[in-house]
Amino acid sequence: MGFFDSADEKEAKKVQEQVKGSIEKTGLSNLVNETDLLKIIVEQNECLIQLAANNAISNAGMIGDALVISSTQTYYKNIKQYFKK
């Protein structure tokens, strides 16, 4: 990930930055409907589980860095679907 990113990777990075910016400005709980808050917690838990697994893998070498980045991008992509329209 970096200089030779595919179009999908570039789009994922763009979405991640947009979502992070929205959360930093407004706060996550203000961006989503109350009915979706439990779904957000589920997505966060899934991401934490993936990150913990990737952390264990990363202790074995540099490939773990890419796995952590991938998991984080997945979280932001998944969470975006719950934003208020």
State the pTM of this model.
0.57
Q: State the pLDDT at residue 15.
A: 92
In the predicted structure, residue 40 carries a pLDDT above the cut 80: yes
Beta-carbon-side half-sphere exposure of residue 68 (alpha carbons within 13 Å): 12
Q: Percent of the chain at pLDDT above 70? A: 88
Structure tokens at 84: 């208020």
Q: State the pLDDT at residue 20.
A: 92
Cβ pair 64, 55 in contact under 8 A: yes
Cα separation, 9 vs 60, whole angstroms: 24
Q: State the pLDDT at residue 2.
A: 64
Ranges of H-type helices in 27-62: 28-31, 37-58
Q: What is the pLDDT of residues 8-28, one digit of tens each?
A: 888 999 999 999 999 999 998
